[in-house]
Amino acid sequence: MDIRSTKTESLPNQRLKVVQLKRWRYLVLLLAVSSGAAGWMFSRHLTQEISTVATITPVAVKTAIATQKPITLDRTLTGTVESSETVTLTSRVMGQIRQLTVREGDRVQAGQQIAEIDVRDIQAQQQQATAAIPQAQSAVSIAQSAKLTAQAQKSQAQARVQEAQAQLTEAQAELADAKLYQKRMAMLRREGAVSQSRLDEANTRLSVIQARISQAQAGLTQSRTTVKQAQAAVGQAQAQIRQAQAQVNQAQAEVQQTQANLDYGTVIAPFAGVITHKYTEVGAMAGPGQPIVKLERSGRLRLSVDVPESLIGQIQKGQSVSVLIDALNRQINGRISQIVPSADPRSRNFTVKVALKTTQDLLSGMFGRLQLRSIASQDTALRQGLVIPEDALVNQFGVTGVFKVVDQQAQFQPITTGQIQGKTVEVYSGLEREDRVIINPSPSLQNGTALQVS
């Protein structure tokens, strides 16, 4: 039985061993009487061990008292650092990816080539559309010639109409004179003043003029019909011209479209930034709208955080705030740049964007905490809370607690903590006011260790 190492034992265990050693001492005295010098030496050694155990050395510690102090109504909201401008570069044409010159993490400049797509099919379409332009232009020329021919025929028909109209007018004037003359000859013949031949001559003249009128009317009708036909031919020629010109425009548009598609075969960076994701590889097929890479603008980062409805009134656009970045273990100044004016119907949270000050080691995707300070009046912004120094906190087997001083001995006490303000932490449960706790406790400190409190 080893009883030599007693300094680090707890006080109850040390007292138990003292009692046990006293019992051993009585036994040794009996042996010493019977065994002489050897028993006397063993008894002397055991007495020294008992004296060592009986002398318990307290551990010197620094302590602090749990006190009630005003607690500001600050809130910490968690969010994620993201780029203020993110774009997913896609292909606008179908084709195989021939080159993809970037990798994830690469920095690119505005206008830099990202990917090149095989556009030989589009080039063939462009050549076909280019060849269709002269054919369509030739059809326009043919339609224009047909229109000129129809217009000439129309002009000739209109001239014949005018000629037939003049002949009809002249014949109608002669008819009136011939009727008057025939009427006079008929009256004189009844009186016997003229011969029958003179009356026959008047009748013949009247018949000839009437025939001329009928012929002129027929010619006028035919000429008018010819004018209508020529007008229809002109309209048809104009329609053919419009159709042929439309074919020319369509062919030219196809050439322009294929040229634009050829330009879309080269994917370029719209701004300087960092490639954060790569969706495909060389040799894969790209299609309209299919993502190729994700690009984030470098140097412009912000924190996206969900703010409860009860706190949205404490936030204003342009307000200066402080953001704690856990990965960097430091505060970064920021400014409220955007408040989305629509809450999530389920969580009743509003999305708020915080523009962060440019920092070289700040990266997109980092975890951040928005330190939201209350803007209420001083009377309503404070409350009383139990606080202790943050240096008193220890963690044993995953449990947060402190070593409390009880009867000049250390006693581990689990506690529930709240927000940290400066170098103090609020305690929700586990301690009472005026409880004394150990500051910066030694890792070897255990329950029951005797203490020398300073």
Question: What CATH number does residue 443 fall under?
Answer: 2.40.420.20
Domain boundary among 343, 375, 407: 375
Q: Please indicate, yes or no, if residue 314 is contained in any of the structural domains.
A: yes
Supply the pLDDT for residue 7: 35
Q: How far is CA 167 from the centre of its chain?
A: 84
In three-state secondary structure terms, 150 is helix
Q: How many domains does the chain have?
A: 4
Q: Which helix (H) or strand (E) holds 44?
A: helix 37-54
Q: How far is CA 21 from the centre of its chain?
A: 78
Q: What is the mean pLDDT of residues 135-153?
A: 79
Q: Tabulate helix, strand, coil % of the chain (nearest 5).
A: 45, 30, 25
Amino acid (one-letter) located at 311: L
Supply the pLDDT for residue 148: 82
- Whether residue 256 is predicted with pLDDT greater than 50 in this model: the reply is yes
Q: What is the mean pLDDT of residues 166-188?
A: 83
Q: Do 145 and 254 belong to one domain?
A: yes
pLDDT band at 64 (very low <50, low <70, confident <90, very high): very high
Is 63 in contact with 405 (CB distance < 8 Å)?
yes
pLDDT band at 6 (very low <50, low <70, confident <90, very high): very low
Supply the pLDDT for residue 389: 93
Supply the pLDDT for residue 84: 83
Pick 81 or 161 by higher pLDDT.
81
In three-state secondary structure terms, 220 is helix
Is 261 in contact with 120 (CB distance < 8 Å)?
no
Q: pLDDT tens-digit profile of 393-447?
A: 998 888 999 999 999 899 999 999 887 777 899 898 899 999 999 999 988 888 8
Q: Please indicate, yes or no, if residue 3 is contained in any of the structural domains.
A: no
pLDDT band at 382 (very low <50, low <70, confident <90, very high): low
Q: Do 283 and 318 belong to one domain?
A: yes
Question: How far is it, in rounded angstroms, from Cα 104 to Cα 277?
Answer: 6
Which residues form the domain of 340?
74-117+265-375
For the chain, what is the total number of helices (H) and then of strands (E)?
5, 24
pLDDT band at 293 (very low <50, low <70, confident <90, very high): very high
Q: Please indicate, yes or no, if residue 142 is contained in any of the structural domains.
A: yes
Question: How far is it, in rounded angstroms, from Cα 49 to Cα 103?
Answer: 72
Q: Return contacts of 249-255, CB within 8 angstroms, 24+ apart.
A: 250/136, 251/129, 251/130, 251/132, 251/133, 251/135, 251/136, 252/133, 254/125, 254/126, 254/129, 254/132, 255/126, 255/129, 255/130, 255/133
Q: C-alpha distances in angstroms, 209 versus 179, 180, 198?
A: 10, 13, 17
Q: Which helix (H) or strand (E) holds 259?
A: helix 196-264
Question: How far is it, in rounded angstroms, from Cα 105 to Cα 118?
Answer: 25
What CATH number does the domain containing 163 carry?
1.10.287.620
Residue with tokens 């995953």: 398
pLDDT band at 364 (very low <50, low <70, confident <90, very high): confident
Residues with Cβ within 8 Å of residue 427, at least 6 apart in sequence: 66, 385, 386, 387, 388, 415, 416, 417, 418
What percentage of the chain has pLDDT greater than the value 90? 17
Q: How far is CA 120 from the centre of its chain?
A: 33
Q: Which residues of 129-233 form beta strands (DSSP E)?
A: none
- Whether residue 230 is predicted with pLDDT greater than 70 in this model: the reply is yes
Q: Do 251 and 313 belong to one domain?
A: no
Is 427 in contact with 64 (CB distance < 8 Å)?
no
Supply the pLDDT for residue 49: 47
- Whether residue 341 is predicted with pLDDT greater than 80 in this model: the reply is yes
Q: pLDDT tens-digit profile of 24-41?
A: 444 444 444 444 444 444
Q: Please indicate, yes or no, if residue 2 is contained in any of the structural domains.
A: no
Q: Do 186 and 231 belong to one domain?
A: yes
- Whether residue 73 is predicted with pLDDT greater than 80 in this model: the reply is no
Pick 230 or 61 by higher pLDDT.
61
Q: C-alpha distances in angstroms, 317 versus 88, 356, 357?
A: 28, 14, 16
Q: What is the DSSP letter of 383?
A: E
Supply the pLDDT for residue 14: 46
Q: Do 361 and 392 belong to one domain?
A: no
Supply the pLDDT for residue 207: 87
Domain boundary among 320, 340, 375: 375
Pick 12 or 251 by higher pLDDT.
251
Supply the pLDDT for residue 339: 92
Supply the pLDDT for residue 28: 43
Q: C-alpha distances in angstroms, 343 versus 45, 83, 146, 196, 354?
A: 81, 22, 69, 118, 17
Supply the pLDDT for residue 432: 92
Q: Do 370 and 391 belong to one domain?
A: no
What CATH number does the domain containing 269 carry?
2.40.50.100
- Mean pLDDT for the chain overall: 79
Q: Do 244 and 136 belong to one domain?
A: yes
Q: What is the mean pLDDT of residues 87-95?
A: 86
The dihedral of CA 271, 276, 278, 279: what is its sign? negative
Cα–Cα–Cα angle for 74, 317, 420, nearest 5°?
15
Is 274 in contact with 87 (CB distance < 8 Å)?
no
Is 441 in contact with 61 (CB distance < 8 Å)?
yes
pLDDT band at 51 (very low <50, low <70, confident <90, very high): very low
| 285 bridge partner residues | 96
- Whether residue 197 is predicted with pLDDT greater than 80 in this model: the reply is yes
Q: Do 246 and 188 belong to one domain?
A: yes
Q: Please indicate, yes or no, if residue 4 is contained in any of the structural domains.
A: no
Tokens of 389: 């120094």
Q: Which residues of 211-290 form beta strands (DSSP E)?
A: 266-268, 273-278, 285-286
Q: C-alpha distances in angstroms, 330 versus 74, 362, 419?
A: 18, 11, 17
Question: How far is it, in rounded angstroms, from Cα 354 to Cα 37?
Answer: 87
Q: Do 255 and 128 belong to one domain?
A: yes
Supply the pLDDT for residue 138: 80
- 206: nearest Cα among 179, 232, 183, 226: 179
Question: How far is it, in rounded angstroms, from Cα 388 to Cα 441?
Answer: 14
Q: Do 134 and 203 belong to one domain?
A: yes
Q: Please indicate, yes or no, if residue 442 is contained in any of the structural domains.
A: yes
Supply the pLDDT for residue 347: 82
- Whether residue 381 is predicted with pLDDT greater than 50 in this model: the reply is no
Q: Do 149 and 126 belong to one domain?
A: yes
- 94: nearest Cα among 119, 75, 66: 119
| Range among 8-22, 138-152, 161-175, 266-280 with highest mean pLDDT value | 266-280
Q: Do 158 and 258 belong to one domain?
A: yes
Q: Please indicate, yes or no, if residue 393 is contained in any of the structural domains.
A: yes
Supply the pLDDT for residue 143: 78
Amino acid (one-letter) located at 152: A
Domain boundary among 230, 263, 296: 263
In three-state secondary structure terms, 365 is coil
Pick 379 or 429 by higher pLDDT.
429
Q: pLDDT tens-digit profile of 207-217?
A: 888 888 888 88
Supply the pLDDT for residue 376: 40
Residues with Cβ within 8 Å of residue 421, at least 6 apart in sequence: 71, 72, 74, 387
Q: What is the mean pLDDT of residues 305-324?
A: 87
In three-state secondary structure terms, 432 is coil
Supply the pLDDT for residue 375: 43
